[in-house]
Each structure stands twice: as C-alpha cells, then as structure tokens.
Amino acid sequence: MAAREEPDRAGSAAARDALREAILAGQYLPGERLVEAQLSDRLAASRFNVRIALQDLAAEGLVEIQRNRGAQVRKVSLEEAIEITEVRMVLEGLVAARAAERVSADQATELDEIGLLMRRAVTAGEYRRYSDLNHRLHALIREIAGHRTADGIIETLRGQLVRHQFMLSLLPGRPQTSLPQHEAVIAAIRDRDPKAAEDAMREHIASVLEALRSIDALSNQDGA
C-alpha cells in the first residue's frame, strides 16, 4: 500500500497565495479550467498541495470545483456582484468609521499622499495607476482600522469581483466620479470623524452599485 501523502501546510499555503494573486491579477479568466498538473509546474508545488490550494480557494469563492470536471475560476454574475457590493458597503463603512477613530498622524499623512497621487493619475489619464492606488487606499484604511474579521471578509468579497471591477474601470468618467468620493473619505478619516467617514465610504460604494446597475441595464438592452 502506498504511503499517504502528509499535508504540507506551508507548501499548500504558498500555492494558494500564488494562485489567488494570479486570479486577482486576471491571469486566469472566469470559467477558465485550472488543471492540477499545469498548476503544479507553474507554482513549483506538488499536485497534493495544488489540490489543497484549490479547495481553499473554492471556500473563498474564487474557484469552483465540479465533480468529474475539475476546477475552474468561478464566474460571478452581475446580479451576484451587486449583492456582494451591497454587503461591502456596510462592511467598508464600518471599517472607515473605525479607521477615523484609530488613525495616527503618520497614517493621515500617508492617506493624503495617496489622495494626491490619485488626483495626479486622473489628471494624467493614467487609469491603471489610479486603479492600483484605489486598491492601495482601501487596503490602508483597513490596516488603520485593524478590524481583522471585516478585513478578511472584504478581501474575500473583493476577490470575487475582479472581472466586474475591470468592467467598471472601463466606464467613461468613472475615475473622475470616484476621485472626489475617495478624497471625502480621506478627509473624514484625517478629521477623526467616524460618522462622516462611514457616510463618505457608504456614498462611494453606493456609486459603485449604481455603476454596476448601469452595466446591467446596458447588458439587457444589448440582449433585447
């Protein structure tokens, strides 16, 4: 009888993190098959660790595993994306309020610097850079808040919205709309005003919802 392979937590965690990063970066598209043998070569990981990594990412909602068909990047419908964003609105509002209570002077300065870089990116039409700064800003706010439970949930939800976030970034005028919203969030956190920070963040995420619904409406028109 062949010896049963023992779990390698470090190896499977490394494979999981690398694969998650690749999916979030768009290197694997929704619906694309994730073949264990190919992933094993790409990630320099054993098939066993790749299998565990896929199971972990399935639990996060990034991967779907179907019996007799293997794993694939999970497709998230626009309707589900809207529901996920509704949950994000509540959680990110909570996190922004907590960040306003806990922000240090150095962290406030870092928020200001990101806000300035975001404005420069929009002025220069560097929308990919703006998108990267957007992610950096939200990550910093979560770091300041230090709410581990909310942080983990938000990161998992964000991962499921990668394709829809890309679609949003292509909407004409979207960066110009979201920039002042981000600046309002930054200002409220710097002023240590939890209510204003929560309101500003919820207003920002509400505009994301509105944009997603506009995409949904356009899709329905195209299919009519």
Q: Average pLDDT, whole number, for the chain?
A: 89
127-141, 142-156, 184-198 — most confident range:
184-198
Q: How confident is the model at residue 60 (pLDDT cuts 50, 70, 90)?
A: confident
pLDDT at residue 216 above 80?
Answer: no
pLDDT for the residue numbered 218? 57
pTM > 0.85: yes or no: no
Q: How confident is the model at residue 100 (pLDDT cuts 50, 70, 90)?
A: very high
DSSP 62: S
Close Cβ partners of 186 (under 8 Å, ≥ 6 residues apart): 111, 112, 114, 115, 137
pLDDT for the residue numbered 158? 80
pLDDT for the residue numbered 127? 87
Rounded-to-integer distance, Cα 130 and Cα 121, Å: 6
Residue type, 172: P
DSSP 75: P
Residue type, 152: G
Q: Mutual orientation of helices 194-223 and 174-190 as an angle, nearest 10°?
A: 160
List the domains of the chain with CATH numbers: 9-73 (1.10.10.10), 78-223 (1.20.120.530)
Selection from 98, 198, 104, 110 nearest residue 149 by Cα: 98
The answer to whether 195 and 211 have CB atoms below 8 angstroms apart is no
Mean pLDDT of the region 9-32: 86
